[in-house]
Amino acid sequence: DIQMTQSPSSLSASVGDRVTITCRASQSISTYLNWYQQKPGKAPKLLIFGASSLQSGVPSRFSGSGSGTDFTLTINSLQPEDFGTYFCQQSYSTSTTFGQGTRLEIK
């Protein structure tokens, strides 16, 4: 299986901050990397697919970049509703795997 490692595991940031979450794959996955946001008690929501494509309806303050093994999710001008846990997912291999998650808290 391809292992996905996110960092940090948790972070706290203020409204208006720029936040960066990283995801590293154990082998090259090209740009087959997706990002999800999950709020407590809810299902995950797709934010970014193909490493950098914004899912329809997702605010433009969310962006993704990277290729190969290293990827980044950036939230510009953090908003109060952006709290939650963020997961990366590789869809390169038949057996898809997720990162362990990054919990984002709003100060």
Partner 1 sequence: QVQLQESGPGLVKPSETLSLICRVSGGSISTYYWSWIRQPAGKGLEWIGRMYIRGSTDYNPSLKSRVTMSLDTSKNHFSLTLSSMTAADTAVYYCARDRGVGAAIDSWGQGTLVTVSS
Distance CA 84, CA 30 (A): 27
Q: Binding of partner 1 at residue 65 (CB under 8 A)?
A: no
Our CB check for partner 1 shows the closer of 27 and 77 to be 27
Region near partner 1 per CB under 8 A, out of 13-21, 67-75, 76-84, 87-95: 87-95
Q: Is 45 a residue that touches partner 1 (CB under 8 A)?
A: yes
* Contacting range for partner 1; rule: CB under 8 A; set: 14-22, 60-68, 70-78, 90-98: 90-98
Q: What share of the chain is helix, strand, coil (3-state, %, to 5)?
A: 5, 50, 45
For partner 1, the binding residue among 21, 32, 73, 75 (CB under 8 A) is: 32
5 near partner 1 (CB under 8 A): no
10 half-sphere exposure, CB direction, 13 A CA radius:
5
**CA distance linking residue 68 with residue 54, whole number of Å:** 19
Q: Which tokens sit at 69?
A: 């093994």
Near partner 1 by CB under 8 A, which window of 16-24, 46-54, 61-69, 70-78?
46-54
Query: Are the beta carbons of 72 and 65 closer than 8 angstroms?
Result: yes
Q: Does residue 27 touch partner 1 according to CB under 8 A?
A: no
